[in-house]
Structure 1
Amino acid sequence: MMQDPVGSIPGSAVCAFDMEQLAAVFDGRFKEQKSPESIWTPVPDELIPKPRPGGCAVQGSKFNSSNSFPDEMLNFVKTHPLMDEAVPSLGQRPWIVRTMVRYQLNKIVVDTEAGPYRNRTILFLGSSRGTILKFLIMPNQDNTVTSSNIFLEELEGFNPDRCAEDSVQARQLLSLTLDRASHTLLLAFPSCVVRVPVARCQLYSRCMK
């Protein structure tokens, strides 16, 4: 999830990434800048120290603890924080974009087993206003994501009756958690915790069947 920097158009965006593509980028080349004035270039494979930076210490191997990593590897990590390739987002575009609104989207929960057949993906986005935006994610046949994701509703998460006060500070959403067993969302605010159902079918009785 991205938010706007100061001075830009206010808004938020949600992007999705493939973990295999992400892993491939981190297994690829590192990027370096040989001097502050030079361009960023990929590091040749033969100059990458062994063991490869970014790997974990494995019990039973030569390096069974991170304390045993050689200084050459640790120094390389400090001086090469970037990878050469970028991780592309699924569909080459954000899943969801919200601009020119009076709130920021700052919390996210994904329910991949939504619907009566548990085969739908629902995205819940918590806002700085204390509300929850609910989206139905619509994949293509090749499992890529289009811009046809459906905005279902905006839930009022903040409950003034349960919380100490109703203010901008009190509505700041600290965490958003999905409780699958009870089919609810748990919203933590500075002075209270609120439980909200993931679906409100009773409000749409005409299509409940």
Structure 2
Amino acid sequence: MNKKDKIIFIAATAFLFLSLFVFSALFDDRILSKASFTATLTIELLLYLGYIIYLLRKHFSAGKRAKERRMLRHGATMTATLKHIEGLPIAQGVPVEVYYGPEKVVFKKDKQEISIARSKITGIDCVTGKDIKSRQLAGAATGKYLLGGMTGAVIGSLAATTTYLVISYTSDGRDKYVMLDTAASGTFALKLQKDFKKHDTSAPSSIEL
């Protein structure tokens, strides 16, 4: 909500309560009939609610346009905010904006942006804390996500029933990963996993023995 809308909202709210006070006094003094009081109150409330709906629609429309601009700037097809667990030069537990696109995955926190080229990504998996703890340093049975660098403190902090998004990639000849908490991100992580699997060209579609 911009400054102008805030001023109008405050003025409209003040006017509503002031008019209710005045009309209530007139009604109590029998200057205003019950029918007139009810009609006036109904009209004022409808106008006020209409203005609130207008402000909400304006706010959400502006937010949607801003989100679309950010996605376009990062070349993303999907975006969500997830909590960082491990793998980025960002504090653990900090919310991070994730932008996923055909060319790269971008992690943004305030003015800091970190990107991983899609060509370097070897796997995107959704895995529970229980599964990570049971395998610990061994990695997944599928071999798609590598957690060899995870510390015991991080492993101990994982919630067993929480689903984590693990993005595995290679950099400087080493296997690395980024882990994010998917809570409150809806189906974003599952969509990423599905899309990556669909367009992954790192593994051959046919093998000749």
TM-score, with normalisation over the residues of structure 2?
0.31
Return the structure number with greater helix share: 2
In proportion to residue count, which structure has more strand?
1
Structure showing greater Rg: 2
